[in-house]
Every structure is written in structure tokens, then in C-alpha cells.
Structure 1
Amino acid sequence: METLATSGFAPDLLQGKVALVAGASSGINLAIARRLAAAGARVAMLSRSAERIEAAGALVAAEGQEVLARAADVRDFDAVAAVAAEAAQRFGPLDIVVSGAAGNFHAPAAHLSANGFKTVIDIDLIGNFNVLRASFEHLRKPGASLFSITAPGAEVPGLFQVHANAAKAGINMTVRCLAMEWGPAGVRVNALSPGPIANTPGMSKLAASPEREQALKARLPLRRYGDFDDITNAALFLASDLSRYVTGTVLDCDGGMRLGDASADALSPPARG
């Protein structure tokens, strides 16, 4: 994985903090775990594959921070609760929880099986609730910051993504409801919505050819994919006291993707006749 930049943030921004990151074996969630650790947090990481999460944990540990890496399927509430309890026992109350486990694939709705739809709902939506709910007893109160990884599709409909978009829409409402319920305890709950982020499994599926990649970039107002620094900087903001008065919010980090098609053709004024 590429080296993450740390300019613009004090390296001790999260010194003494404890973080739990779900779905942290690869991609955006691993990058977030690395950034939180680089800012001083001790990090507990979980993902379904024991082999992959142990390798990811070793990567974070090699960068100089205490790490706990455990295999757990977010669909299994008791397994997630056990990791949260172990993390709190080892490191102390949880200051930061990142819920990012997800499953996805492209499928026309007319050919999508009921089981395929349910699988994505179970991982993305129910798994998200399991992570947040299982963490609650172990949070620092007041002061904890929780955020889920959502997607622009939570608000913008798209082809062949009814299962994923329905799950992400549910995540957005989940964090808003929990922000209201848990706010009096001093707990903040938000969501982070990445757009196209380079070098992630999702983008390798969405843009499998250079032509498709260029077409996607042409529709973005900023005309480029984001990178791991873009998304982890946003995550660090939500995790830290820099956002201490922010709750119930979906933070879009998507290059303007949610705004709609900003391609040259779309932006061209109509011909005068």
C-alpha cells in the first residue's frame, strides 16, 4: 500500500485515544486504521478473514503503534462484541469507532436473487448496526466519536446497485437516529461518504478499463479520483476533537460526485436557435 502523507495534522492529534476499526483488512478502512495509528491512537482492527486481518495488523504495528487484530464477521453480533470488549480491556474505553465492513457487486435488479440482496443488507446495514451497538457499552462517555462508511449511492440512485444503495441509505438514517439518542451521553455519530478512491477494490470493479476510468473522471467536478490521503484526512477530522460539535452528519468526500454529471457535454450551454 502507498505511503500516507501526514502533513497538515499534528502527529499526536489522537495521542492516548483508542480506536476500533471494522472491515480493516484492506482498502479505505485499512488506510483509516493506519492514519489513526499515525496520529497516536491505539487501534483494534477486525475483519472476517483471520489471515488478512493479521497481515493488516502487522502492517500497522510495524509503523510503531499498539494494535489488536481479530477475525470477526460483522453479521455476528456476539463476535463483534467480544472484540470490542477485548479492545476496551486491553487499551481502555473506546474513543473512536469506525464501521466500514461492506460487500458489493453489480447486478441488474431483475436478475438479483433474494439471497444476494439479503447478503449485502446483512453485511452493510445490519453489520453496521452491530458494530456501533456492540461498541456502546465500551465507549468513553462523554467524548467518543463513531462514524460509518457510507456512499453517494445512499442518496443518488444508480443502475445495478439497488442492494448496496438500499443498505447505504439505511446506514445514513442509522447514524442520524443514533446521533439523537446517544448525543446526551456525549457520543457523536456521523458517516463518511467516499466517492471514487483510487487503488481500491471497488474502483477496480467500477472502472475495469482505462476508457471507463476516463469516462468516470470526466463526470466529476474535480476531474480526478480521490486518494487514500483525501479520505483519511476526512476520517481524522471526524475522529478527533476538530469535529467535536459535529454529529448526525454525512461528510461527503467524493470530488463532487453527489452533485451530478459535470462532464463537458453536461455543462455546455444549449445552442441558441
Structure 2
Amino acid sequence: MSARLFARALLAPRALVPAHAPRALPAPRFLVGAHARWSSQVAHKARKEKFLHDFSMAGKVALVTGGARGLGNEFCRAFIRSGCTSLAIVDLKEDEATESAKALIAEACTGSDMDPADYSVIGIGCDVSSELSVQQAFRRVMDTYGRVDSVVASAGIVENYAAFDYPFDRIKRLYDINVHGAFFTAREAARNMIPQGGGAIVLVASMSANIVNIPQPQTPYNAAKAAVKHMAASLAVEWAKKGVRVNCLSPGYMLTKLTKTILAHDEELKRTWESLTPMGRMGEPEDLSGAIVFLASDASRFMTGSEIRVDGGYCCV
């Protein structure tokens, strides 16, 4: 089109609505109310009867390290609520893992048609920093269930020391748990998954793998979580053709019971963290439920070597 014709097209008057054309009238109030009631009823039925089955954890055997408390326990709860009935809660102290298993079963049966006998949730004591201990934990899982489909390496610790003051034994312990523990867990998971045709592994890193937290000093922790993030990508490529997917979940500041206890004595730190988060708040543990189920279920079956950040937008700024 020539410049002259283009200019004429721009200046051409728009078609006018005839004065006699009927106008749309607002819906009567009683119809709006009726639609709201109908919509609510339909939504209730849809929640009960319609959902994407790929997100279901029914029929899958899951294992979560660090599952007795904190975020690991929330991951276990999310799996149970998504239909998982075979779950191994792995933590340092077996009695705490076992108590957590009993509590999850009781919670799952409250207000439900399910019976405690419908669940097989076991607690296993394991020091993830020990390769032998991790191997023994997986052996118990395989002896109990015969397979393992979804594994979450959630066990980890964080400490705050200035770099000049950080004791070496504390650095070594942090790396043994956060990095070596994640590697031992992923490796044993893959060894058992490959013969059965595959599975899903989720390594729990942190937004600290991508940014430097302030004001608290935690260089070894940040570096360890960066290692976990890249470990997930590296293992994903190594095992991709063997049917084993490895992805990474990176939470932001989450209000676990431990974090709440710490912040109760430091309101200024809480305000600082919230002000640095674009959403203006810290996350609740259940804010991670959808992401962990997505990564551990068939819903993410063509996804491997990826990271999902759940941080309220912290890493965007």
C-alpha cells in the first residue's frame, strides 16, 4: 500500500453504530446471583470429578529425605494429598521419621474415606552424608515396596558465619549433608529406577543458588546450593536416555517452624526479607506443594535438568 493510501485509510471515519441499534442491557441482579450459585456448584463438582490425572501420585512409591519436619515434611504431605499411599520418610533419627509417618496417616484419614490400613508410610533413619547409610535406606525401601518412582533429596542445613570466621569442620559438615547427601540420594535412586524403566528425582536447592542473600552471611551454603542446582542438570543429561528425570526445586524464604522461631527474636530481619521479596511476604511451606507434585509426577514427564524457583519473585530483582 502506498504512503498516500495508508494515510487515507488511517483518516477514514469508523463505522458508526446506528442510533436505532439495541443496546446490551445489564443482567438482572437475580440472574447474577443465580449464576454465582450455579458456578459454585459446578466448581464443586469439577473439583471432585475432573482433574489432570498426570498430577496424581496414586500408585507411585515415593521417598523423601529430610521428611520428618520442615519443607521435607510438607513434600510428604503433598504426595499423600495427591494420592500417594506408599511413602518412605527418611531422616536422621528413625523414631522421628516413624512418628511423622504416623501423623501423616492420621491426618490423611481425617474426614476421608481412606483407612489407616490403606497407607504404607514408613520411617527410615539415615545419615545422608554417609553413602553406606543411604544405600541401606534404599535397600529397605526396595525390600518393602519392590520399586521406587519418585525421590526428593530435601535433607539440608544452613548456618550463618562470616567467611573469615567460618569453622572448617562446620563447612565440611554442610557440604557433606547438602551436596554429598544430594548426590548419594540421587545416585541410589537412579540405580534402582533404571532397571524398572525410569523415575523422577527432585533435588532441593534454593534461590541462594542464583543470588547472594543479604544481610546474613552464608557463602558455603550459597555455593553448596549452586552445586546442587548444577548437579541436577548434569545428572539429568547423564541419565536422560535411561528414563530417569532429574530436576531442581529452589524455594525462597519459607516460614517453616524453625524459621518462625528464629524470626520471632528478630523482627527486623523478617521485615528486611519481606521488603526484598517483590510479593512482599515470605512463603508458606504449602506454597511449594504444587511445584513438588508437578516435578515428581508424570505431569513433568518431558522435563529434565530444569529448575523451578518458588521465591515470590526474589530472584527477578
Task: Give the TM-score category using the shorter length.
Answer: 0.7 to 0.9
**Cα 1:66/1:229, change in 2 over 3 Å:** same
2:81 corresponds to 1:24: no
Q: CA deviation at 1:259?
A: 1.9
Within the candidate set 160, 179, 198, 2:255 is matched to 198
Aligned to 1:267: none
Q: Identity over the aligned pairs, expressed in percent?
A: 27
- Measured against aligned partners, the alpha-carbon deviations of 1:211-236 in whole angstroms (never above 9, x if no partner) come to 32222112111111111221111101
What is the CA-CA distance between 1:205 and the residue it aligns to? Answer: 3.4
Runs ≥4 residues deviating over 3 A: 6-12, 140-143, 202-208
**In structure 2, the residue corresponding to 1:222 is in which secondary structure?**
coil
Correspondence for 2:183: 129
Aligned match of 2:77: 34
Q: Which residue of 2 aligns with 1:216?
A: 273
- Structure 2 counterpart of 1:239: 296
Q: Which residue of 1 aligns with 2:58?
A: 15
Contact 1:220 1:255 in 2 (8 A): yes
Tell me how far apart the structure 2 counterparts of residues 202 and 128 of structure 1 sit (CA, whole Å). Answer: 22
Structure 2, gaps ≥5 residues long: 1-46, 109-115
- Residue 185 of structure 1 aligns with an amino acid whose one-letter code is K
User: Are positions 1:58 and 2:115 aligned together?
Assistant: no
**Take 2:181 and 2:260, find their aligned partners in 1: how far apart are those partners?**
22
What are the superposed Cα offsets for residues 33-79 of structure 1, whole Å, 9 maximum, x if unpaired? Answer: 11112212211111111232121111122224311211110011111
Q: Specify the code of the residue in structure 1 equivalent to 2:241.
A: P
**How many corresponding residue pairs?**
255
Residues 180-225 of structure 1 show CA distances to partners (whole Å, capped at 9, x for unaligned) of 0111011110110011112342454367433322221121111111
TM-score (norm 2): 0.75
Does residue 105 (structure 1) correspond to residue 159 (structure 2)? The answer is yes
Q: Which residue of 1 aligns with 2:210?
A: 155
Q: TM-score, normalised by structure 1?
A: 0.87
Counterpart residue number, 2:150: 96
Does the aligned pair in 2 maintain the 1:189–1:247 contact within 8 Å? yes
Question: How far apart, in 2, do the equivalents of 1:206 and 1:135 lie?
Answer: 36
- Counterpart in 2 of 1:116? 170
- Consecutive unaligned residues of structure 1, counting only runs of 5 or more, are 1-5, 261-273
Instruction: Indicate how the Cα distance of structure 1 residues 87 and 162 shifts in structure 2: closer, same or farther if over 3 A, else same.
Output: same
Pair 1:15–1:189, CA change in 2 (3 A): same
Q: 240-249 vs 140-149, which deviates more?
A: 140-149
Cα deviation 1:1-50 (Å, max 9, x = unaligned) = xxxxx999669811100001001110110010111122122111111112
Higher helix share: 2
- Say if 2:189 and 2:201, in contact at 8 Å, map to a contact too: no
**Alpha-carbon spacing, 1:231–1:191, altered in 2? closer, same or farther (3 Å):** same
- One-letter code aligned to 2:81: A
1:221–1:257: 8 Å Cα contact kept in structure 2?
yes
RMSD (Å) for aligned C-alpha atoms: 2.1
- The code of the aligned residue for 2:208 comes to G
